[in-house]
Amino acid sequence: MFHVWKLLILIGISCRTLYAVYEDEEEPNCFTLTDETCPNENITFWFYTNTILEGRQLWMHNLSDAGFLPRKPLKVLLHGFHGNRDKLPNNKLRLLLTSQNYHVISPDFRNLSVEPCYSQAVDNAKYVGRCLAHLLTQLVQDRLIFEEDLHLIAFGLGAHIAGFAGNFMPENIPLQRITALNPAKPLFLGTDNADKLDSSDAKFVDVIHTDVLMLGLLNAVGHVDFYVNMGISQPNCGDISTITTHYCYHNRAVAYYAESITTPKGFFGYRCPTYRSFLDGLCKPSNDVEQMGFYVRLGARGLYFLETDYFAPYAMGRNHMNLSHEIKNRTYIPPDFLDGFLDEKNQTSSDTDTEGINSI
């Protein structure tokens, strides 16, 4: 049966326990920051290299002593709701990146995104973005990193924090790239671009969608958006009627990105002008393909669709022979409601200077 509470989550109406599957006996410490001052005791930054594997906390007054080496690209890994510096995407990506000689910074704002305080976490997202921008600006001004080496990789709620950070960066120090891994939907659906991630937040924004019907946005919000397995369901995640299965769909975006760093096959999607046209089977596999993930082409533009293997390793290269357009049996949501929902989202993004590529 299609439960009303599932419908409410689908359309982005959040309640106090949106991400919680049970009530804690102890009252959580839910609060919204009111002090915009940076640094902030609730937001810490941890620095990692291939020789600093346990992490070193960064302090604004002595950044030069942190261990930054000359000219190494920086990857900033932003966790999501109910996360911390050792949870997704950090626990999947940090060692991979440092082993390839990148500098990594993992912000930790766990107190501002504690379960089940989701609405407060959304309110706090701008503060985290502001303090992250403050840190990155100082690092560039101190010549510890270079502007063109700034790349934020952000999961769920963290994707919108990355967007806020981009908004708070000085005009002369723009973010180069934001990679958004299934950007969060609840309380961001229908909001202005200034209040969520969009393609203006960095010179290049690439997005991986894995759960567009529940926890992640359906709308294309980047310069290039990849819809994996239609963005509706991911293989080997469990019963389609349970909320925990959607957590698996949500988290899988990180697994795909991690695999994209080392896979010899690569994840390749083919282009379709809108999500609706893909569902209607109007787009056929063609030579218009782009590689998803770590090695995405920075000039990529548009919406791209691909499927994965059932078990890891998931990458299937340029194989689109069995790409499905069928929603039936991939979700518990009634087809009539789903069609209406997708039709309502069939709109053009504000990124009009890219020929409507972000329409849904």
Q: What is the mean pLDDT of each run of 10 residues along the chain (360 residues)?
A: 46 44 62 93 97 96 92 96 98 97 97 96 98 98 96 98 98 98 94 94 98 95 97 95 93 98 97 92 89 98 96 95 81 73 49 31
What confidence score (pLDDT) does residue 201 get? 98
Asked if the 4-22+40-354 domain carries CATH number 3.30.565.10, the reply is: no
Long-range CB contact pairs, 13-22, < 8 A, 24+: 13/186, 14/118, 14/119, 14/186, 14/187, 16/116, 16/117, 16/118, 16/119, 17/116, 18/116, 18/118, 18/186, 19/81, 19/82, 19/115, 19/116, 19/118, 20/115, 20/116, 21/243, 21/244
Spatial separation of the C-alpha atoms in residues 292 and 228, rounded to whole Å: 10
What confidence score (pLDDT) does residue 320 get? 86
Encode burial over 233-261: b for 16+ CB neighbours within 10 A, e otherwise: bbeebeeeeeeebbbbbbbbbbbbbbbbe
Token readout for 272 is 């379709």
Q: Return left, alpha or beta for 292; rule: phi > 0 is left, psi -120 to 50 is alpha, else beta.
A: beta
What confidence score (pLDDT) does residue 138 get? 97
What confidence score (pLDDT) does residue 224 get? 98
Spatial separation of the C-alpha atoms in residues 309 and 147, rounded to whole Å: 37
Report yes or no: 226 and 294 within 8 Å, Cβ to Cβ.
no
Spatial separation of the C-alpha atoms in residues 193 and 206, rounded to whole Å: 16
- Which amino acid makes up residue 191? T
Could you give the 3-state DSSP secondary structure of residue 43? strand
Spatial separation of the C-alpha atoms in residues 249 and 253, rounded to whole Å: 7
Instruction: Find the length of the chain.
Output: 360
- Enumerate residues 6+ apart whose C-beta is below 8 A from 55: 46, 47, 48, 85, 106
Question: H or E element: which one contains 275?
Answer: helix 275-279
Using alpha carbons only, what angle is made at residue 180 by residues 22 and 29, rounded to the nearest 5 degrees?
35
